Amino acid sequence: MQELRPNVALSYYSLSVFQKPLLDSFDQTVNYHDALLPSYRGLMTTAWFIYRGEQESGFTFHHMNEALDDGNILIQGSVPVPSDARLTSIARAKKAGAIPHLPQLMRMPDNRQTRRPQTGSSSYFSRADLMGITRIDAPETLELAEFKRRLDAFGAIQLRHNGRWYSVTDWITSANAKNSLSFRTRDRQRFTPTRIEGLPLWLHRLTTPNRHAEKPSELFQNSQPGEDAGATGSPVRTRDDPE
């Protein structure tokens, strides 16, 4: 790396932490973060925006330093979050808004006039926060609306049912006598999973008959749900663009 002396490093949906020796290998290191910093630092921030009922989300290109999501801001853009928003639609809108700025980003000189410090209140969401909201050990203790809220926001939840864990990605409210995963929620509504890990139940049983573990797996371990989604026509408003 020292021999190559690359000019710019662009980190995009990377879950790795750049340590100081790697940061020092580049003239500039820029990270794409899917939130309006300094709010919503950490993991799965788009999902947290939706879950907490925020009306606006966005993205930030910022310089990287040794602290997580902490460097000076280069470019930010925002997208509206409608009341019926789901993870993939908002993730697509952010990507559609961020991608056109890449040429401008690569041309930006490394000087103080093109960046500004992060100011205002900050928040951080850790892996422990993510696992705490997406792993449900006793599903019968939650109301139906809360299941919908978590699935809409995070795209998948892990349910413990009859001693086994299942990664549920879709559901219906009607009862199905053939569906052994169906149960009643705290408010006595019927919750019936229809997809496990994105697959219909019958197909999932055929392809992964022994996958249901006694311990929950690491949801979102290697990627952010929605990150491979395509562009959308959702409106994007950009702000703080350097001249």
Structure tokens at 52: 């907490």
Identify the pLDDT of residue 104.
86
Identify the pLDDT of residue 204.
80
CA–CA separation, 171 vs 151, rounded Å? 9
Sign of CA dihedral 132, 135, 140, 144: positive
Structure tokens at 177: 């006598």
The 3-state DSSP class for residue 140 equals: helix
- DSSP strand E in the chain: where? 8-12, 28-33, 41-42, 56-63, 73-80, 124-125, 135-136, 157-161, 164-172, 183-184, 190-196, 199-200, 237-239
Q: Model pTM? A: 0.80
The 3-state DSSP class for residue 75 equals: strand
Q: What tens-digit pLDDT sequence spans the chain (243 residues)? A: 566 667 778 888 777 788 888 888 887 888 999 999 999 999 999 999 999 999 999 999 998 888 889 989 999 999 999 988 889 899 999 999 999 998 888 777 654 556 788 999 999 999 999 999 999 999 999 999 999 999 999 999 999 988 889 999 999 987 666 778 899 999 999 999 999 988 888 888 787 655 555 566 655 544 444 443 333 333 333 333 333
Please classify residue 235 by burial: count the beta carbons closer than 10 Å to its beta carbon, then call 0-12 exposed, 13-18 middle and 19+ buried.
exposed
Identify the pLDDT of residue 29.
86
Identify the pLDDT of residue 226.
43
Contacts of 200 (CB under 8 A, 6+ apart): 194
The 3-state DSSP class for residue 127 equals: helix
Cis-peptide, bond into residue 242, ω within 30° of zero: no
Residue 16's Cβ-side half-sphere holds a number of Cα atoms within 13 Å equal to 8
For 90, 124, 196, 197, the CA distances from 193, given in Å and listed in that order, are 24, 31, 7, 11
Identify the pLDDT of residue 4.
65
Identify the pLDDT of residue 177.
60
Residue 2's Cβ-side half-sphere holds a number of Cα atoms within 13 Å equal to 1
Identify the pLDDT of residue 228.
34
One DSSP character per residue, 40-59 reads SEESSHHHHHHHTT-SEEEE
Domains defined for the chain, CATH in brackets = 8-126+225-239 (3.40.50.170), 128-207 (no CATH)
Nearest partner of 147 among 113, 127, 166, 172, judged by Cα: 172
Identify the pLDDT of residue 243.
32
For 134, 143, 152, 163, 229, the CA distances from 146, given in Å and listed in that order, are 11, 5, 10, 22, 25
Q: Which residues pair with 10 in a beta bridge?
A: 30
